[in-house]
């Protein structure tokens, strides 16, 4: 009798084990957005493979992801206002809320407890409990919100496209947000915070220049840098807005896309003066420094989105021009930067390229891939 009971128990235990995924960490995981199908792929950057796919995330035609600090959950912000908490270990949706009509992205607080969405319609930001996705508070803006970035102290900086302002909201008491407002300039299109969390930059579309706020000295307000970088020349048409994030900073310099010019601007972050510019193949969209800062990778707006160029930060020269596929929408470095993953929307592939030799290491299939996000972002301010 006892033996029979034991064997039943053993069988039950085996069945339970069969359903539990093998024990593993999250440091080499990531999410690839498959924009046309409302689906994400969960990827492993060590095995260079797709582990699983998770469906049902709504309209991902523009999407971004931030990670819980343990790297287990990815918060996916979809275009349709959907906020989906994806469990990377169990490959399933943990929670999902529709929080706006038209959304552009989000950020996570320094302590990992608050997830904030930035919205176009209705314009403003909303703060959610990172665990439950319960709405904690909101700051309406009457403008499209761009460039949301987390700052130390559970504060968040963002820019208002229509109102031309930078706002800093303090969510240290998440149900009672306190907001400071600073005039910034004409049509800020995106923003970034430097990796130390001190300076917030908003790129301006409506004028030549970048707005800069020292968040350690907010009493000084925002000032303009790189004024008149277009030198009065007529702008080239911009067929896709550039994106800014903290990876624009390599060593002491920031590398920023010029608007309406086929150039990358180099700015010294000690003086905030331009120290050089690099001619490139088209309108830069992403200008991303490798984790070691040795090279900066650039992709481009339509119709030059089949190209990727690499700038050597020692010489300020282009050292490589690649054609990784049709419509290269995004790039992401492995945590220490030995590889870069590139999504080619119209080839339905993600290419993995060695950052030292520029050789293609692997190619993964993906349906209309756009954004690529690795869990190493979890530990970085501004991601």
Partner 1 sequence: MKETIIALMLAVVAMHASARAAEPDAARRGELVRLVRQDCGSCHGMTLKGGLGLPLTAEALRGKPAESLSATIYYGRPGTAMPPWSRFLSESEADWIVGRLMAGFPEEGPR
The footprint of partner 1 (CB under 8 A) covers 35-36, 59, 61-62, 79-80, 102, 104, 120-121, 144, 146, 161, 187, 189, 205, 237-241, 301-303, 327, 345
Q: Which is nearer to partner 1, 205 or 255 (CB)?
A: 205
Rg (CA), the chain: 21
Q: Which is nearer to partner 1, 143 or 355 (CB)?
A: 143
Task: Give the shortest CB-345-to-partner 1 separation in angstroms.
Answer: 7
CB of 123 to partner 1, least distance (A): 12
Considering the complex, state which of residue 186 and residue 271 has its C-beta at the smaller distance from partner 1: 186
The least distance separating partner 1 from the CB of residue 90, rounded to whole angstroms, comes to 29
The residue among 168 and 259 lying less far from partner 1, judged by its C-beta, is: 259
Nearer to partner 1, 143 or 269 (CB): 143
Q: Which of 24, 30, 86 is nearest to 375 (CA)?
A: 30
User: CB-based burial of residue 16 (10 Å sphere; 0-12 exposed, 13-18 middle, 19+ buried)?
Assistant: exposed
Write out the chain in H/E/C secondary structure: CHHHHHHHHHHHHHHHHHHCCCCCCCCCEEEEEECCCCEEEEEECCCCEEEEEECCCCCCCCCEEEECCCCCEEEEECCCCEEEEEECCCCEEEEEEECCCEEEEEEECCCCCEEEEEEEECEEEEEEECCCCCEEEEEECCCCEEEEEEECCCEEEEEECCCCEEEEEECCCCCCCEEEEEECCCCEEEEEECCCCCEEEEEECCCCCEEEEECCCHHHCEEEECCCCCCCCCCCCCCCCCCCCHHHEECCEEEEECCCCCEEEEEECCCCEEEEEEECCCCEEEEEECCCCCEEEEEECCCCCCCEEEEECCCCEEEEEECCCCCEEEEEECCCCCEEEEEEHHHCEEEEEECCCCCEEEEEECCCEEEEEEHHHHHCCCC
CB of 212 to partner 1, least distance (A): 22
Q: How far is the CB of 167 from partner 1 (least distance, A)?
A: 18
Closest CB to partner 1 among 144 and 377?
Answer: 144
Q: Shortest approach of partner 1 to residue 239 CB, angstroms?
A: 6
Q: Is the CB of 36 or the CB of 52 nearer to partner 1?
A: 36
What φ, ψ does residue 51 adopt, rounded to 5°? -85, -40
Q: Report, in Å, the least distance between residue 240 CB and partner 1.
A: 4
CB of residue 79 to partner 1, shortest distance in Å: 6
Select 187 or 309, whichever has its Cβ closest to partner 1. Answer: 187
Min dist. Cβ of residue 162 to partner 1 (A): 10
**Toward partner 1, which CB reaches closer, 161 or 374?**
161
């Amino acid at each position: 009798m006892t033996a029979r009971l034991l064997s039943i128990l053993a069988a039950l235990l085996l069945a339970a084990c069969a359903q539990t995924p093998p024990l593993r960490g999250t440091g080499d995981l990531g999410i690839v957005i498959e924009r046309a199908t409302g689906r994400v792929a969960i990827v492993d950057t060590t095995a260079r493979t797709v582990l699983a796919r998770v469906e049902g995330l709504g309209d991902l035609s523009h999407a971004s992801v931030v990670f819980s600090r343990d790297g287990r959950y990815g918060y996916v912000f979809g275009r349709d206002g959907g906020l989906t908490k994806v469990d990377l270990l169990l490959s399933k949706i943990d929670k999902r809320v529709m929080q706006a009509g038209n959304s552009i992205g989000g950020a996570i607080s320094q302590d990992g407890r608050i997830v904030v969405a930035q919205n176009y319609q209705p314009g403003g930001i909303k703060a959610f409990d990172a665990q439950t996705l319960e709405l904690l508070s909101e700051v309406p803006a009457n403008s499209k919100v761009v460039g949301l970035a987390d700052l130390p102290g559970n504060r968040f900086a963002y820019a208002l496209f229509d109102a031309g302002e930078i706002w800093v909201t303090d969510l240290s008491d998440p149900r009672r947000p306190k907001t400071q407002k600073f005039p910034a300039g004409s049509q800020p299109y995106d923003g970034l915070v430097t990796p130390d969390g001190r300076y917030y930059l908003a790129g301006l579309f409506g004028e030549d220049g970048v707005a800069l706020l020292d968040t350690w000295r907010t009493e000084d307000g925002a000032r303009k840098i790189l004024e008149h970088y277009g030198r009065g020349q007529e702008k080239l048409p911009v067929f896709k807005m550039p994106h800014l994030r903290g990876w624009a900073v390599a060593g002491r310099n920031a590398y920023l896309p010029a608007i309406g010019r086929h150039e990358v601007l180099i700015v010294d972050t000690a003086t905030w003066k331009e120290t050089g510019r690099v001619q490139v193949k088209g309108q830069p969209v992403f200008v991303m420094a490798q984790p070691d800062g040795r090279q900066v990778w650039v992709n481009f707006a339509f119709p030059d989105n089949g190209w990727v160029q690499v700038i050597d930060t020692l010489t300020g020269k282009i050292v490589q021009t690649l054609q990784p596929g049709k419509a290269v929408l995004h790039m992401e470095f492995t945590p220490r930067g030995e590889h870069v993953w590139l999504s080619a929307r119209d080839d339905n592939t993600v290419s993995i390229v060695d950052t030292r030799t520029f050789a293609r290491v692997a190619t993964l299939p993906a349906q209309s891939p756009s954004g690529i996000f690795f869990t190493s972002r979890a530990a970085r301010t501004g991601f």
